[in-house]
Amino acid sequence: MTATMPTNRAAWAKSIAKPAQEFPLTPLKLRSGAIPEGLQGKLYRNGPARLERGGMSVGHWFDGDGAILSVDFADGKAHAIYRYVQTSGYREESKDDRFIFGGYGMVSPRAWWRRFGKSSKNVANTSVIAFPDRLLALWEGGLPHALDLETLETKGLENLDGLESSLPYSAHPKRDAQTGNIYNFGLTYGKNATLHLYCNDRQGQLLKKNQIELSGLPMIHDFVMAGDYLVFCVPPVRLNPFPMLLQFKSYSDSLQWQPKEGTEILVFDRHTLELVSRTQTEAWFQWHFGNGHTDRDGNVVFNFIRYSDFSTNQFLKEVASGKVKTHAPGYFSQIRLNPKTGTILESIQLFDQIVEFPTVSTLQIGQISRYTYLSMQHPNTNPDLFGAIVRYDHQTQTATIADLGPNCYGSEPIFVSDLDNADLGWVLTVVYDCDRNCSEVWIFNSEHLDQEPIARLELPDVIPMGFHGTWQSLTT
């Protein structure tokens, strides 16, 4: 059940109070420490950077126009560039400095009879994936936008050499470190929803696709790769399409929590994309998975952030206003199941603090991984954003916590292997300091996460809190 309490505008709200400002390629000043010589490559991050236009605010955090931060590390130095994704909707709205289109949590502000046709825009604001020759800005409601890896210039929509323009390419692809193949999905709506599965090669060429009809009109944000399987947990969130089609309500406001439907678990063979098992279980909601693998008995084990209901969507809506009042705790959890039958063998909570944005080393996606990195709320601060990062050790079942300090909030932590020393690893996060109203890149030693960052780099301007990022090493 959703609980609320009155609250004032949060300190971190200054970072989203006005549209973020782009900046050109700029050398970054070290505020403290030194950049490791073995940290060689590029950090890319995506997130909603414009939540207001012409005096009007967006309806949900998910509605903000996407902007990409690129931080290039080489020879102990760093340079950064920040640019908006120049989607067609962004360019059109920029001409008159007013919102024209609706989005995830807002309907078009135009007169009702003018909302039909192209009523929403691709905001390209959720995540990124780097190919050898281009960067893709991802958004789950449509195709990605291709950008130049160096300048972040927007090249246009990308169909990955085979996807129809009507098929979305979601924001959480999984890359197999051994083959380089990339797995992803998209969801389309008709009488029932259709789940589309894709496999692309390391260059982005479409190798294989499949589709399966789902029950009703659910929402799916992420999935998990576990050994030879792709696993989808379909939560009991259902779209009532009629208010949205009539342009009376947004997509978000047309979503309904229906716990009696339960959560459906779909297991696919990732080599053929064929369905292996399909089963119903108790209701929960999740945005994000951490990682998955198969154990010695051939069972699938995966972890994710589990919510008891869909109140997290209301919390994320409130983030856009800077005034959060909805309690929506998510906990790091794990399920073990028989992939052939879909039978759940074990379901446990791994960690007792409120967390989100689980990540692992990109070399271990779909395989057993000892460590998961997460963003964490400070204890006793719910509702709030994330003021700490965590390394959870699955072997010892312990957590190492980096407290970012008073009024400092971090982004999704990204683990990076040292280019010169396989025994070293670094954890990167972009931190917003409310007191100084500035953003920095912090670098932690992954083995000593609870110690001070080994380097803090000042960014030229504020980077609003965002969603997801990726790392491209020099060997990618």
Nearest to 144 by CA among 118, 125, 117, 116: 125
Q: Using the predicted structure, report yes or no on whether residue 8 has a pLDDT greater than 80.
A: no
Percent of the chain with pLDDT over 70: 96
What pLDDT shows up at residue 2? 39
Q: Coil, strand, or helix at residue 314?
A: helix
Report yes or no: 250 and 107 within 8 Å, Cβ to Cβ.
Answer: yes
What pLDDT shows up at residue 423? 81
Q: What confidence tens digit (pLDDT) does each residue in 222-256 have?
A: 999 999 999 999 999 999 999 888 888 999 999 99
What pLDDT shows up at residue 475? 67
What pLDDT shows up at residue 165? 84
What pLDDT shows up at residue 1? 34
Q: Using the predicted structure, report yes or no on whether residue 15 has a pLDDT greater than 80.
A: yes
Q: What confidence tens digit (pLDDT) does each residue in 330-345 have?
A: 999 999 999 999 999 9
Question: Domains in the chain, ordered, with CATH?
Answer: 11-473 (2.130.10.10)
Sheet containing 275-281: give its strands across.
Answer: 275-281, 263-269, 229-234, 224-226, 289-294, 300-306, 331-337, 344-349
Once rounded to an integer, what is the mean pLDDT over residues 374-400? 95
Query: 227: which DSSP letter?
Result: T
pTM, 2 dp: 0.95
Q: Using the predicted structure, report yes or no on whether residue 476 has a pLDDT greater than 70.
A: no
Once rounded to an integer, what is the mean pLDDT over residues 152-179? 94
DSSP string of 108-164? -SS-GGGSSSS-B-----SEEEE-SS-EEEE-TTSPPEEE-TTT--EEEE--TTT--
What pLDDT shows up at residue 133? 94
Q: What confidence tens digit (pLDDT) does each residue in 27-41 have?
A: 999 999 999 999 999
| Cβ contacts of 65 within 8 Å, gap of 6 or more | 48, 49, 50, 84, 85, 87, 90, 123, 124, 125
Q: What confidence tens digit (pLDDT) does each residue in 58-68 have?
A: 999 999 999 99
Q: In the structure, what pLDDT confidence band is assigned to residue 4 with cuts at 50, 70 and 90?
A: very low
Q: What confidence tens digit (pLDDT) does each residue in 180-217 have?
A: 999 999 999 999 999 999 999 999 999 999 999 999 99
Q: In the structure, what pLDDT confidence band is assigned to residue 389 with cuts at 50, 70 and 90?
A: very high
The overall average pLDDT reported for the chain is 94
Once rounded to an integer, what is the mean pLDDT over residues 281-293? 98
Burial of 23: CB neighbours in 10 Å, binned 0-12, 13-18, 19+:
middle
Once rounded to an integer, what is the mean pLDDT over residues 414-435? 94
Q: How far apart are CA 372 and CA 386, in angstroms?
A: 16
